[in-house]
Amino acid sequence: MYTEKVMDHFNNPRNIGIIEEPSVIIQVGDPDCGDTLLLSLKIKKEKIVDVKYKIYGCGAAVATSSIASEMAMGKTLNNALKITDDSIAKALGGLPEEKRHCSNLAASALRGAINEYRKSNLKKA
Ligand code: FES
């Protein structure tokens, strides 16, 4: 049912935790299943230099959060905004149809965190 890559990220999720002094931290939830992702980013000069998260969710949510953290690491904010639920699922070699929605959690947390960071930086300027 799951690809080897999904199982690898599920069994050994990367970048778990919370950044101590994050540039931005955001929590998103899926109202349908109740799964929740807490995502923190460290951003320097428009670039994501650290990504950490805590996930309360299904196996696919764990695997998609893990690979999304690897995909976002080191990217500029503009490039990180190009990470979508589709590109996350593709990077895992695909997800079963009924689990496709799980990749939304990481994609929307990433988008939300970057937007939040930009908004709060605008206010400071
Ligand atoms: S079932 Fe909720 S994110 Fe997978």
Residue pLDDT, tens place only, 86-118: 999 999 999 999 999 999 999 999 999 999 999
Q: Confirm whether 124 is domain-assigned.
A: no
Q: Is residue 54 part of a domain?
A: yes
Q: Provide the residue count of the chain.
A: 125
Residue 122 has pLDDT above 90, yes or no: no
Segment 12-54, tens digit of pLDDT: 999 999 999 999 999 999 999 999 999 999 999 999 999 999 9
Quote the CA–CA distance of 20 and 54 in Å, as a whole number: 13
Is 125 among the domain residues?
Answer: no
Closest CA to 37 of 50, 18, 20, 23: 18
Note whether 9 and 67 are within 8 A (CB).
Answer: yes
**pLDDT at residue 124, rounded to an integer:** 77
Active-site residue among 102, 106, 107, 109?
102
CB 39 within 8 A of CB 61: no
Domain that holds residue 35: 4-119
| Type of residue at 49 | V
Nearest residue CA, atom 4 of ligand 1? 102
Task: Report the CATH number at residue 65.
Answer: 3.90.1010.10
- Report whether 108 contacts 101 (CB < 8 A): no
Res 121 pLDDT > 90: no
Give me ligand 1 centre to Cα 91, in Å. Answer: 18
In tens, the pLDDT along 55-93 reads: 999 999 999 999 999 999 999 999 999 999 999 999 999
Instruction: Indicate the number of domains in the chain.
Output: 1
Question: Is 102 considered catalytic here?
Answer: yes
Q: Is the pLDDT of residue 6 over 90?
A: yes
Which residues, judged by CB distance below 6 Å to any ligand atom, belong to the binding site of ligand 1?
A: 30, 33, 35, 57-58, 60-61, 102, 105
